Chain A
Amino acid sequence: MQKFAGFGKKIRRALALALASAGLFALCACGQAADDYFIEFSLSDAVYVDGTPLSSRERDALEGEIASLLRAVEDEVSADREGSDVSRVNAAAAGESVAVGEYTQAMLRLAASLYGQTGGAFSPALYPLSDLWGFTPRFEGQYSVPREEPSAAALEEALALSSFESCSFAEGSVVKQTDGAGLDLGGIAKGYMCDVAAAYIREKYAGHEVSCTVTVMSGSVLLGQKQDDETGLGYTASVDNPRSAVTSGAGAGQALFLAGLSDVAVSTSADNYRFYVYEGKIYPHIIDPSDGKPADNGVISVTVLVPLDVPYAAAAADAYSTAGFCMPLTDALAFYERLAEEQGVAAVVITRDFRYYVIGNCSVYGRTEFDGMIGSEGYFSEEVFARAAVADASDDVPPDARETEYIAAMADRQAR
């Protein structure tokens, strides 16, 4: 008996210790301070290497490695971070040579090439214009405040400062040609980060087939083929509903669905993030380099898919989706048709008349259609956007009644 009591005590002590540490661990996990990094990065729960899932420990380790890699990128290129290469360039005077790190250099090279490919519709030199319209970090928390348009003189000045030639780049350093010019790599940042993550995964498991997804904000890379594919649909993606505020019923946040995806980068640009409403008009944070104003072509969301055999596919997808936003609708559709032929790109363009256009080879489904395909029949009560033929598109995009309702609702919300 005595012996047993002693044993019990030991058990109790061991259990108490185990439980205390379990409790402590749980508390740490919950109370983990959110770091001040802007990027939201996620790796799919399942990561397959040669058809076998990684153990959760291996997967978490991989996730940690990618997260620290992406933070290093963000430290260099974010205009939001003090002391970053981009912040130092933007604060520098004309003629001053600012040394920049390897990620910034790589992004600048990429940006220059994408500037050419988009005919200037994507530009990394729009910082002065973004600042003029109140979308740079110093306006944080006030992006949605309704405000008057800047004067024509101020716009002209900022437009001149925002020319692509205003910054020259050579031998690891950037030189500004004019005071007040500046870089904003936000248009390819999330895509580039996806590329960096994908490259890291490929390198780590070189010689093996990897299947997983990496997402940085509204950009993603889908590596390999979907494994354990119960529905047989391959990787699937939902296109966020930029008008969910005026969409009723369940799952209002989802507008369209893409299926049958593999080895592809996906990027979405939409007008429902960093925007304001003034006198019945939406001013999105995406600036049109041709006139220096927030894009206003009747396009409300663009999703672009770029096959992973294109170098820096995710950064390209990011720049292409931004660029399409800044073109008249028919030009944007023609631009994506050209990319579809040249690079196998696909695109889904949603417009303010609540229609959508599909370019290139991809399977796009409406809400109710997709609902039926995955057997959750009846989850969605209605479609939000109607498919339209590319040939019927016109540059004049009259707003749907729901668009008017949305703008009024946003104006009301932002006024408070």
Chain B
Amino acid sequence: MDRAEKIGEIRKKTFFRKGDVAVYAAALLLVALFTLLAFLYRAAPGDRFSVIWRGETIFTASLSEDAVFVFTAEDGAVRRYEEGKAYSGYNVIEVSGGQVSVREADCPDHTCESFGAIGSGVIVCVPHELRIEIEGAGVETDI
């Protein structure tokens, strides 16, 4: 094969040969499958959550009881939320259906709200130095 023939061969090549489509489809399906599995095999939901402020657990409550709490950064305390009352430097923590979420907050970035309602894992509010943690399995032992 001379040089010209080689160039011709290369020019003829396209991105998609029919066989390639199958490979891409397979890759996509695998991604979809693993995503699905990741959702199905989520960590077992916890039954309590803790509010940790500046590294210290300041509050803990059950996830089985629907309730609304409010954290205030001024005194680092969590109380029952009172509808209509004006708060500043706060995060409203809502427990509903075994999940916890930050319903609203006046922190600058509102990242905590974007975590949504969680049944396992953590919600973090950096400006208020706040973490909401769901009780996990604890320290691992053999039995």
Q: A interface vs B, CB < 8 Å? A: 4-5, 7-9, 11-12, 15, 19, 22-23, 26, 30, 44, 213, 215, 220, 222, 226, 235-238, 244-245, 248-254, 257, 261, 266, 370-371, 374, 376, 379-381
Contacts and interface: CB of A to CB of B under 8 A. Distances in A.
B135 A251 contact: yes
A91 to B, nearest CB: 36
Contacts of B22: 8, 11-12, 15
Contact of B142 (A237, A370, A371): A237
Given A26-B33, A215-B143, A11 B57 contact: no
Given A5-B19, A11-B19, A249 B60 contact: yes
Interface of B: 17-23, 25-26, 29-30, 33, 36-37, 40, 48, 50, 56-57, 59-60, 62, 133, 135-139, 141-143
A30 B37 CA distance: 9
A253 B138 contact: yes
A416 B20 CA distance: 61
A220 B143 contact: yes
A226 B133 CA distance: 32
B37 A257 contact: no
Nearest to B60: A248
30 contacts: A5-B18, A8-B17, A8-B21, A8-B22, A11-B22, A12-B19, A12-B22, A19-B29, A30-B40, A220-B143, A235-B142, A235-B143, A236-B143, A237-B142, A237-B143, A238-B141, A249-B57, A250-B135, A251-B136, A251-B138, A252-B48, A252-B138, A254-B138, A257-B139, A257-B141, A261-B142, A370-B139, A374-B139, A381-B56, A381-B57
Given A12-B25, A238-B138, A222 B17 contact: no
A26 B23 CA distance: 21
Nearest to B135: A252
Contact of A44 (B19, B25, B142): B142
Nearest to A268: B143
Contact of A248 (B19, B36, B57, B143): B57
B40 A4 contact: no
A255 to B, nearest CB: 10
Contacts of B141: 236-238, 257
Contacts of B56: 381
Contacts of B17: 4, 8
Chain B interface helix/strand/loop/mixed: mixed
B19 A4 contact: yes
Nearest to A5: B18
A277 B22 CA distance: 63
Given A19-B26, A26-B37, A248-B50, A222 B142 contact: yes
Contact of A251 (B19, B62, B139): B139
Contacts of B62: 245
A311 B20 CA distance: 64
A248 B60 CA distance: 6
B138 A250 contact: yes
A222 B141 CA distance: 12
A244 B142 CA distance: 20
Contacts of A371: 139
Contacts of B29: 19
Contacts of A8: 17-22
A266 B57 contact: no
Nearest to A19: B29
Contact of A376 (B30, B37, B40, B139): B139
A366 to B, nearest CB: 12
Contacts of B18: 4-5, 8-9
B59 to A, nearest CB: 8
Nearest to B22: A12
B25 A23 contact: no
B143 A222 contact: yes
Specify which of A30, A220, A249, A371 lies most central, judged by the most chain B CB atoms within 10 Å of its CB. Answer: A249
B56 to A, nearest CB: 7
A164 to B, nearest CB: 32
A374 B136 CA distance: 18
A-B CB proximity, top 10 nearest: A8-B19, A251-B138, A12-B22, A236-B141, A248-B60, A249-B57, A220-B143, A8-B18, A238-B141, A237-B143
B139 to A, nearest CB: 6
Contacts of B57: 248-250, 381
Contact of B33 (A22, A220, A249, A380): A22
A333 to B, nearest CB: 24
Contacts of A380: 139
Given A8-B19, A19-B29, A381-B56, A253 B142 contact: no
Contact of B133 (A12, A237, A250, A370): A250
A26 B33 CA distance: 9
Contacts of B137: 253
Nearest to A23: B33
A254 B139 contact: yes
A11 to B, nearest CB: 5
A213 B37 CA distance: 28
A88 to B, nearest CB: 34
Nearest to A248: B60
